[in-house]
Structure 1
Amino acid sequence: MTDVEFHFNVPDRQAYACRLLRKAVRKGAGVAVTAPPATLDELDRLLWTFEDTGFLPHLRLAANAAPAPLQQRTPIWLVDRAEQAAHLPVLVYLGEQPAEGFGSFERLIEIVSTDPSERESARLRWRHYASRGYAIKRHEVTA
């Protein structure tokens, strides 16, 4: 069963996602990120400029696209639909509704900011996962 984690009180979801993805790449883990297209486009830009002396290797895959054979070794996949990257162990989710297709991943990470409306939608997602029997870990992010 998928391990579900919520990271709460994140001041900047995109910057936090970049740090989380950097950590995963350094550990050799493959990660998929799914979110609304505009959010993925923004994250795509940030991953190129997040570090002054480098970038985080990633690919942005549109809903109906397939990666080229060499791209399949890329550690970070930004995808419109989770099933496009179901071969990876971790899914980072930046959406508002419960993540679709998360059950094929070993781990689901939800990133939640301090915004009240975002926290409310996270509570609904938490209840959704809990009602389906998923054990959920809560991480409080501190500055």
Structure 2
Amino acid sequence: MTEIRFYHNAPDRLRVACVLAAKASGGGHKVSVFAPDGGVARHFDQMLWSYQPLAFVPHVAAGSTLAAETPVVIGSTLAALPHHDVLINLGETLPAGFERFQLVLEIVGPTDPERQAARGRYRSYKDGGYTLSAHDLAQRSGE
């Protein structure tokens, strides 16, 4: 069954997504990034190019011919994402079809609208009987 992890109090959701994508792909996992907002997808793509000065996180858009063999794939629909290992949800809603992934990572920013949307997703996962864990980034340094 799919495991769900919430990372809350993220000062910068996309920066945390970069860290999580780098860690997961560096550990041999294939990562799908659901970014239904095109602006968010482009910004995340740009951040992956530069967030680690001495390292590179291989990534492509879902429509790329290299998507199937690239560790991190960014897409606006789950149907377009080829990997089923780790899903990073950068959307505000529960993506239909998330249950095909082994692990779903939810990143919650500090604003009330982000928290309210995340609470709704949390309730939906809990009501579905999924294993949930929460990680408070305000209590951690370096992420």
Question: What TM-score results when the alignment is normalised by the length of structure 2?
Answer: 0.89
Match for residue 97 of structure 1? 93
Partners in 2 of 1:137 and 1:111 — Cα distance? 12
Which secondary structure does the structure 1 equivalent of 2:5 belong to?
Answer: strand
Cα drift, residue 140 of structure 1:
1.0
> In the alignment, does 2:21 pair up with 1:21?
yes
Mapping of residues 38-49 of structure 1, within 5 Å: 38-49=39-50
> In the alignment, does 2:136 pair up with 1:140?
yes
Partners in 1 of 2:7 and 2:55 — Cα distance? 26
Match for residue 119 of structure 1? 115
> Runs of 5+ in structure 1 lacking a partner?
none
Which of 76, 80, 89 lines up with 1:80 in the alignment?
76
Moved beyond 4 Å, runs of 4+: none
> Runs of 5+ in structure 2 lacking a partner?
none
Question: What TM-score results when the alignment is normalised by the length of structure 1?
Answer: 0.89
**Deviation string for 1:40-84 (max 9, x for gaps)?**
1110111111122332110012xxx3x42x442100000111122
Which secondary structure does the structure 1 equivalent of 2:52 belong to?
Answer: coil
Partners in 2 of 1:51 and 1:132 — Cα distance? 37
Does the CA-based 8 Å contact 2:8-2:135 persist in structure 1? yes
Match for residue 31 of structure 2? 31
Which secondary structure does the structure 1 equivalent of 2:19 belong to?
Answer: helix
Q: Which amino acid aligns with 2:107?
A: I
When residues 84 and 135 of structure 1 are mapped into structure 2, their CA distance, relative to the original with a 3 A threshold, is same
CA-based RMSD:
1.4
Aligned length: 138
Does the CA-based 8 Å contact 1:130-1:136 persist in structure 2? yes
Does the CA-based 8 Å contact 1:86-1:104 persist in structure 2? no
Cα drift, residue 86 of structure 1:
4.8
Residue identity over aligned pairs, in percent, reads 34
Q: Which amino acid aligns with 1:31?
A: V
When residues 45 and 86 of structure 1 are mapped into structure 2, their CA distance, relative to the original with a 3 A threshold, is same
**Deviation string for 1:84-126 (max 9, x for gaps)?**
2253300000111112211110011100011111011100111
Cα drift, residue 129 of structure 1:
1.2
